[in-house]
Amino acid sequence: MALSNIFTLLLNSIFLLYSTVKLLLFPLQDYSEECVLNYFHWYRNIFWIFIFLVAFVGVVGAFSNNQGLLALYLFGVVVAFILLLTVLIFGLVVTSKDGSYKVPGCGYKEYRLDRYSHWLRNHVTNSNYWLDIVACLVYSDVCNTVHQDYPTADRFLSVHLSPIQSGCCKPPSSCGFKYVKTFWINATNPTAAMDCQLWGNKEIVRCYNCDACKAGILGNLIMEWKKTEMKLIVALVVLVLVYLIGWCDYKNAENEHK
């Protein structure tokens, strides 16, 4: 067996094992606190199924030195590369706009929905999917936690809040609410924005239907995307190396069958 075949066999065995683990662990993982990321989990699972199939073909092709299977394997690697490159470019485009802005005298930022890309607003915060996000936020208890941790105005206003906590767990600063013992009361400017009317101190209300909450969700999504960008770049480099090794396997099989 040629050295390149051994490398292909080992690499794809690793990919095969890793994709299997990811797929098997999916039903056991708790995504309740990720909320908006649930939107993308099934797409990710479809990708891992595709990687599993490509890796399986690669293992069989490298072990048997079958030219047809190796050609199919190379095609699968190219498709995976194109998919990841497309996701990377598309993600960079739709997350290029930042809806955050600083609030004077506060340690946190607030977020405006109209500053985010049109695609994100339409696909992540549309009315059909938003009900699921709200249910997830209520279930995850994210707002109760932040209010319990910072029960006084001085502590709350100085703390760094996540985009979700800033947008969904408090009214917009422009409304002029006062924070008293985990409650927001006596808005001095209730007509500053529609969100001022939508705010409620009840656990199932909060600002979950506010544009500020939707903007916070998108802000959180973009933060998570920034962590994913480097992973995608590394994955693309790995796929190029995998393709080059696989091409050597294919040429070896071609020469052997002449």
Mean pLDDT of the chain: 90
User: Are residues 109 and 56 part of one domain?
Assistant: no
Which class for 144: exposed (0-12), middle (13-18), buried (19 or more C-beta within 10 A)? middle
User: Are residues 197 and 117 part of one domain?
Assistant: yes
Instruction: Give the CA angle between residues 90, 234, 6 to the nearest 5°.
Output: 130
User: Are residues 124 and 146 part of one domain?
Assistant: yes
How many percent of the chain have pLDDT more than 70?
93
Instruction: State the residue range of the domain holding 39.
Output: 3-96+228-256
Q: Is 50 inside any structural domain? A: yes
**Stated pTM of the model:** 0.85
* Residue 50: both structure tokens together: 């595709």
H runs (alpha helix) in the chain: 3-25, 38-64, 67-94, 118-124, 127-140, 142-149, 153-158, 163-168, 194-198, 211-256
CB 184 within 8 A of CB 198: no
Q: Is 19 inside any structural domain? A: yes
User: Are residues 43 and 143 part of one domain?
Assistant: no
pLDDT in tens, 2-57: 788 888 999 999 999 999 998 888 666 555 456 766 667 778 889 999 999 999 99
User: Are residues 237 and 127 part of one domain?
Assistant: no
* Count of structural domains within the chain: 2
Of 64 and 29, more confident: 64
Q: Is 223 inside any structural domain? A: no
Q: Is 148 inside any structural domain? A: yes
**Residues linked to residue 200 through DSSP beta bridges, in sequence order:** 206
User: Are residues 80 and 65 part of one domain?
Assistant: yes
Look at residue 171 in the predicted model and tell me its pLDDT: 97
Which residue, 168, 94, 163, is CA-closest to 130? Answer: 168
User: Are residues 108 and 183 part of one domain?
Assistant: yes
